[in-house]
Structure 1
């Protein structure tokens, strides 16, 4: 009996030694397992992957990725968000069918990469970027955690939207600090007005970014026929940094303070009253006044209801004093450094003149904005146009763009007349002084 059992003990010892070697690696090979008390680390030691229990919880366990060398455990990705492991006997492994899988002690599948028709000789690798990828024998990526993010955006990740299918890569906040299951807050590309990012509570927009104008906004293929629109953020490579969507729906940008080896909050959105979506009604803009805010009508507009306006109820916005003709006799007023309105359409690669005339020729266009893509090897421009009401306007001195609002030419006539009268008066005064001077001589 003992002699029969000896080969099994030798095999078990060899397997254990082999597994200790694998845990020190950044790769999970077929039929290897990560147990509850084990982790793998990326090659540079930046990230670790293993089991964790959130907050003060000790019952539920999740597979997650976190920064390996930071004392405060910062979990940046969770695999089994909706299916916690409730015992200590679960394992993470690469299955015979090639998928990464989390299995509990009873053999129940809790989570997997869920691919079909893939090679069986795959392996999973934790990269120094924080991306956990499944590769075939030729190192082709078959699946990656960056395409299924949790609540955190890391450098080199993409926020994307497949225009045809509607499939997107978004952040979703944890339900609460003890529960990493998907909450009601999300962050991603706006499906309605592309080239901008939104934080939403369910389907309700809470915060909206300025429309993208830098080279980090790019389209795969021709925009009108392509499948996917991708936005990427810029990060400072010298420091560790991340965006996190917290459980209250706030998007926080933090960087690692090397002195304290802890996270420092750089900025947060929404951060003030004007950041909240639609702080003012149509055709009015929000302007900060200290810690408070006020709404002001665009030039040529007046409050829809003055009594409501006087008690700081700005929700009904403003109305035009002079109706548009919606012909080529209309003019444009320029508003500098504005957060551009929501609900726009995009015309690609137009000059400023083409953007203006295009809006003027359109019987529905009420405003336009033009911007060139800047930086790197990205060239071209984007012309944004609006039809109907202008909403969610904010005066943004540090980040805004010029907005050209369509007005009736009659609206500008009084101003022109006043200027002309002043010029005529000045000319008459100078002429009068000149004649008087001659008489004096």
Structure 2
């Protein structure tokens, strides 16, 4: 009987282990409190399971980083804490300090990265379903720090790029140095606050690409944005205190993100559930004509034309240097064939040529008046000798 009892107890214990393995597994959570830590191999997972925070190695296994990624696509890392200071082993830990800062420690206990926050009461950290990592003071519930204010190479719905004109706070995407190195690369994607706002992509300090100015619905040079307007709401904020751009996913929209690649291309990607792959919604530059100022002043670029002749001058203009133009050097742009009548006091034959399907030019030196009609803008521009062209500021009323 004694032998039989031992056998039954062993059998019952085995059945419990087989049927209830989760009882002995680490509990999945989205929150980190004081006295707790996340070590290599452990994770925080957002409440709905969309995002995961943990340690990863993009290339060399010896280099470890703390980051946030899409749970269904672990190769898409949205945010990296220690991009400039990788850990050299798998003994790092994410903890909350006694003062309320979120700290990443290496194996020797040295601080590799910090949120630089101070909590009055008890501090907690939560990974939200939006992908935002938030450090909060539990005594008041106020967010003291969030990853959405410290962007990497990825923009998620709910984040914004641009500038606070009062505080100087700046939000921009910065490319990785390479696919295996998340330290800061050479490319930046930001909102240009001069003139009518537009987004620009910089290679160092040189503009490589621009979206074209905001037209009230989307950026004028990114017509693809209209295709997915049933899934996303695009938000351009332009006030005396702030000029920012962001987007929000509508209910039922698939996962999406904007990625600035290490070779200087920004892509808005949408998750395709059927193929379980990321689909390019739009990107910039999309072709040779999307590069900044490709055909220079008064030049037109046609990406479908033969490579040697993709630049041409608009009606009424000719190459400034015909010889250089013939050998493919369009750096001098185009000039007028005839001088304008403007300012000579006589009746004028000046007029405008309608340009369709083009990206509006830079508006750094533009005059903006939202109170007048397009016809009034025509008249005002024709009377101003320094005015070169005019266009509708906001197409939400049907203007083009």
Deviation at 1:296, TM superposition (A): 1.8
Question: Within 5 A, what are the aligned runs for 1:30-429?
Answer: 30-55=34-59, 57-70=60-73, 72-115=74-117, 118-137=119-138, 138-164=140-166, 166-215=168-217, 216-219=234-237, 223=239, 226-233=240-247, 235=249, 237-289=252-304, 292=307, 294-327=310-343, 329=348, 330-344=350-364, 345=366, 347-350=368-371, 351-372=373-394, 374=396
8 Å CA contact 1:305, 1:316 repeated in 2: yes
Cα distance, 1:259 vs structure 2? 2.5
Alignment CA distance shift 1:336-1:265 (3 Å) = closer
SS in 2 for 1:369: coil
Change (3 A) 1:239 1:106: same
- Identify unmatched segments of 5+ residues in structure 2: 1-23, 218-233
What secondary structure, in the 3-state scheme, does the structure 2 residue paired with 1:48 have?
Answer: strand
Match in the other structure for 1:433:
none
Q: Post-superposition shift, 1:69?
A: 2.9
The Cα offsets for residues 365-386 of structure 1, whole Å up to 9 and x where unpaired, read as: 2222113253xxxxx89xxxxx
Say which SS state the counterpart of residue 130 (structure 1) adopts. coil
Structure-2 separation of matches of 1:139 and 1:103: 26
Match of 2:16 in 1: none
Q: Distance in 2 between matches of 1:69 and 1:28?
A: 22
- Partner of 2:310, secondary structure, is strand
Structure 1 pair 86–371 and aligned structure 2 pair: CA distance change class (3 A): same
Contact preservation (8 Å) 2:301, 2:312: yes
8 Å CA contact retained: 1:214, 1:373 = yes
Mean alpha-carbon deviation: is it higher for 249-258 or for 176-185? 249-258
TM-score, normalising length from structure 2?
0.81
For 2:70 and 2:370, locate their aligned partners in 1 and report how far apart those are by CA, in whole Å: 42
Cα-to-partner distance string for 1:322-347 (whole Å, 9 max, x where unaligned): 22344495533322222011243352
Higher Cα radius of gyration: 1
| 1:134–1:373 CA distance, 2 compared to 1 (3 A) | farther
CA distance, structure 1, for counterparts of residue 380 and residue 142 of structure 2: 46
Asked if the contact 2:137–2:143 (Cα under 8 Å) also holds between the matched residues in 1, the reply is: yes
Superimposed CA distance per residue, residues 126-168 of structure 1 (whole angstroms, 9 cap, x where no aligned partner) = 0111111112223322211111111111112211212345432
- The DSSP-based 3-state class of the residue aligned with 1:125 is strand
Preserved contact between residue 326 and residue 364 of structure 1 (Cα < 8 Å):
no
Distance 1:194 1:172, change over 3 A: farther
Aligned length: 354
**Is contact 2:299–2:312 with CA below 8 Å preserved after alignment?**
yes
Gaps of 5+ in 1: 1-18, 375-379, 382-400, 403-441
